[in-house]
């Protein structure tokens, strides 16, 4: 299954089970959350014309070029009087432009005469250095649409409009399950044949960053009764996200449990790393089973599970940021799966980590992005490839 087809199916499923519950939160607590309702401007911004400079405001319409006396001083936060004809006003950045004035000249371009009148040395034009009312927003305008992910900038925009609270979509509850008899948690001693569980912390931290509520469901041994029991204990989540256990058919206990008490489809994705993906349900709780190799977990989470989870919260724009860069490497043999190489941006080129094994998480720690090489493609150095920054994916 091509990556686009898998993503389209997942997004359809997410759309069908969109989270509709919402909560109202103080602005400072909405970071990482999804806006539940369109945010309309209830103010013009700026609410009145204001000065973009420290300088002098005058009325060009009735000015012949003569030096002008200063009739008032306007600081930010003050309400000025209308400009007296035949005068100018001393004005500071952010202060309201007095009625009648249509131009602000910066203080560096004027000369204060011995009689304290202001001589304007440079040619002046109407509107100069004035930030007009409503240049940013107009009352009634749509500012942020429902489904927008909120970060510092959106929070700032809402604050500038005076919003103290916002309606956001309730957090998605995601249970993280690591499957495998070989897994041991860090801090414990390793026995023969055992490895430390790294996927758990990768996914738990990542989900938290995304604004999800994480239910850390620990390690699931490779046996059917325990799998059934543990899945049954996760009935109050929006998604069970597991890793491992999907590549070896006979030890795929997750798949067996889903087949018995839910629904199972196994997708063979044309993606490398990360070919096998389990998508299904256990007693009506959606389940996504990612492959267990750490780099496979990372790539399939980033490109499939992450957009799925965002769409469940109503986010429309779920595709990661992606741009073309010249390849800093040769790719002589075309693959039959789309590859996401762990790479770096070095001197304007996409370079790749020396070891691209799906078991190597270190490649991703070295990397600052995924380099996309399309199926059936070969590359020579300098040809364009797509680069997906990890900084975008990790948020
Ligand atoms: P599986 O999909 O269960 O066959 O696992 C594929 C590979 O990933 C095996 O080498 C596993 O030992 C490894 N693996 C599975 N789960 C994890 C995990 N949570 N942390 C680190 N490695 C894992
Ligand atoms: Mg396993």
| Chain-centroid distance, C-alpha 279 | 25
Q: How far apart, in whole angstroms, are the C-alpha atoms of residue 300 and residue 273? A: 8
Residue 59: which of 103, 89, 120 has the closest Cα?
103
How much distance in Å is there from the Cα of 377 to the middle of ligand 2? 31
Looking at ligand 1, which residue's alpha carbon is closest to its atom 7?
293
Site to substitute for ligand 1 among 248, 255, 292, most atoms within 8 A of C-beta: 292
Q: Which of 184, 195, 206, 244 best tests ligand 1's pocket when mutated (most atoms within 8 Å of CB)?
A: 244
Cα 374 to middle of ligand 2, angstroms: 28
Q: How far is the CA of 3 from the centre of ligand 1 (A)?
A: 22
* The architecture CATH gives domain 323-393: Beta Barrel (2.40)
Regarding pTM above 0.85, the answer is yes
User: What are the structure tokens assigned to 180, written together?
Assistant: 């495998």
Asked if residue 23 lies in contact with residue 33, where contact means CB atoms within 8 angstroms, the answer is no
Multiple choice CATH, 50-131, 3.10.450.50, 1.20.1640.10, 2.170.190.11, 2.40.30.170: 2.170.190.11
| pLDDT score of 245 | 82
Pairing of strands 50-51, 88-91: unpaired
Q: Is the CB of 289 under 6 A from ligand 1?
A: no
> Ligand 1 in contact with 181 (CB < 6 A)?
no
Q: Whose CA is nearest to atom 23 of ligand 1?
A: 292
C-alpha to C-alpha distance for 6 and 17, rounded to whole angstroms? 17
Q: Among all ligands shown, which has an atom nearest to the Cα of 361?
A: 1
- Tell me whether the CATH fold assigned to 3-20+170-312 matches the one assigned to 323-393: no
Domain ranges within the chain, ordered by starting residue: 3-20+170-312, 25-42+139-169, 50-131, 323-393
Could you tell me the distance, in angstroms and rounded to a whole number, from the CA of residue 244 to the centre of ligand 1?
5
Q: Is 183 in the pocket of ligand 1 (CB under 6 A)?
A: yes
Which ligand is closest to the CA of 296, given by its number? 1
Cβ distance 304 to 7 under 8 Å?
A: yes
Largest CA distance in the chain: 96
Counting ligands in written order, the one closest to the CA of 292 is: 1
CA distance 300 to 312: 17
Nearest to 10 by CA among 335, 271, 244: 271
**Any ligand 1 atom below 6 A from CB of 255:** no
Rounded CA separation 20/42 (Å): 25
Tell me, what's the pLDDT at 266? 87
User: 197: Cβ below 6 Å to ligand 1?
Assistant: yes
Tell me the sheet residues that pair with 119: 111
Query: What pLDDT is stored for residue 252 in this prediction?
Result: 84
Alpha helix (H) ranges present in the chain?
Answer: 3-16, 152-160, 199-209, 224-232, 253-261, 294-300, 306-312, 362-366, 390-393
> CATH top-level class for 25-42+139-169?
alpha beta
| Per-residue burial over 6-21, b = 16 or more CB atoms within 10 Å of its CB, e = otherwise | bbebbbebbeeeebee
Judge if the beta carbon of residue 199 lies within 6 A of ligand 1: yes
Residue nearest to atom 16 of ligand 1 (CA): 292
d(CA 9, CA 108): 62
**244: closest CA among 208, 272, 213, 220?**
220
Per-residue CA distances from 272 to 169, 203, 310 (Å): 33, 19, 23
**Which ligand has the minimum distance to the alpha carbon of residue 200?**
1
Helices 253-261/224-232 angle, 10° precision: 60
Contacts of residue 342, Cβ cutoff 8 Å, sequence gap at least 6? 295, 352, 353, 356, 363, 364, 366, 367, 370, 371
Beta bridge partners of 67: none
What pLDDT is attached to residue 248?
Answer: 57
Looking at residue 326, its pLDDT comes to 98
**Quick one: DSSP state of residue 96?**
B
Closest ligand (CA of 297): 1
- The pLDDT score that the predictor gives to residue 217 is 97
Q: Which atom of ligand 1 is nearest to the CA of 222?
A: 3
Cis before 2 (ω within 30): no
8 Å CB contact between 358 and 337: no
The DSSP result for 202-265, as a single string, is: HHHHHHHHTTPEEEEEEEE-S-HHHHHHHHHT-TT-SEEEEESSSSSGGG-HHHHHHHHHEEEE
* E-strand stretches of 67-180: 70-74, 88-91, 103-106, 110-112, 118-120, 130-131, 142-144, 165-169, 173-179
Pocket test for ligand 1, best of 184, 185, 198, 243 (most atoms within 8 A of CB): 243
pLDDT tens digits in sequence order for the chain, 395 residues long: 999 999 999 999 999 999 999 999 999 999 999 999 999 999 999 999 999 999 999 999 989 999 999 999 999 999 999 999 999 999 999 999 999 999 999 999 999 999 999 999 999 999 999 999 999 999 999 999 999 999 999 999 999 999 999 999 999 999 999 999 999 999 999 999 999 999 999 999 999 999 999 999 999 999 999 999 999 999 999 999 999 986 556 678 999 999 999 999 989 999 999 999 999 999 999 999 999 999 999 999 999 999 999 999 999 999 999 999 999 999 999 999 999 999 999 999 999 999 999 999 999 999 999 999 999 999 999 999 999 999 999 98
**Three-class SS of residue 34?**
strand
Q: Which region, left, alpha or beta, applies to residue 103 given φ > 0 means left and ψ of -120 to 50 means alpha?
A: beta
Q: What is the pLDDT of residue 250?
A: 63
What's the CATH number for 3-20+170-312?
Answer: 3.40.980.10
């Amino acid at each position: 299954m091509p990556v686009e087809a898998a993503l389209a199916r997942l997004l359809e499923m997410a759309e069908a089970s969109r989270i509709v519950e919402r909560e109202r939160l103080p602005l400072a607590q909405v970071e990482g959350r999804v806006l539940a309702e369109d945010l309309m401007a209830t103010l013009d911004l700026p609410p009145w014309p204001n000065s973009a400079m420290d300088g002098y405001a005058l009325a060009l319409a009735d000015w012949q070029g003569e030096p002008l006396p200063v009739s008032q001083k306007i600081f930010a936060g003050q309400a000025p009087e209308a400009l007296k004809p035949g005068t100018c006003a001393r004005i500071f950045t952010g202060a309201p432009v007095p009625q009648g004035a249509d131009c602000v000249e910066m203080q560096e371009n004027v000369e204060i005469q011995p009689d304290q009148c202001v001589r304007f040395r440079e040619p002046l034009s109407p509107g100069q250095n004035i930030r007009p009312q409503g240049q940013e927003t107009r009352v009634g305008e749509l500012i942020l649409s429902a489904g927008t992910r909120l970060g510092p900038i959106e929070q700032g925009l809402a604050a500038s409009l005076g919003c103290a609270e916002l309606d956001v979509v309730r957090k998605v509850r995601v249970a993280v399950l690591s499957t495998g008899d070989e897994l041991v948690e860090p801090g414990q001693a390793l026995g023969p044949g055992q490895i430390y569980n790294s996927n758990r912390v990768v996914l738990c931290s990542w989900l938290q960053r995304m604004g999800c509520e994480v239910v850390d469901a620990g390690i699931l041994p490779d046996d059917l009764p325990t799998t059934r029991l543990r899945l049954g204990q996760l009935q109050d989540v929006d998604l069970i996200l597991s890793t491992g256990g999907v590549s070896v058919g006979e030890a795929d206990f997750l798949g067996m449990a889903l087949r018995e008490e839910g629904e199972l489809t196994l997708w063979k994705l044309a993606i490398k790393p990360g070919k096998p993906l389990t998508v299904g349900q256990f007693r009506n709780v959606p389940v996504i089973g990612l492959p267990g190799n750490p780099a496979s977990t990372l790539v399939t989470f980033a490109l499939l599970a992450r957009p799925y989870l965002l769409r469940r919260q109503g986010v429309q724009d779920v595709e990661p940021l992606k741009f073309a860069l010249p390849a800093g490497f040769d790719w002589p043999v075309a693959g039959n799966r789309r590859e996401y190489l762990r790479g770096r941006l070095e001197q304007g080129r996409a370079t790749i980590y020396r070891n691209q094994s799906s078991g190597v998480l270190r490649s991703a720690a070295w990397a600052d992005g995924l380099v996309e090489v399309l199926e059936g493609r070969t590359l020579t150095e300098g040809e364009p490839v797509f680069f997906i920054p990890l900084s975008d994916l990790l948020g």
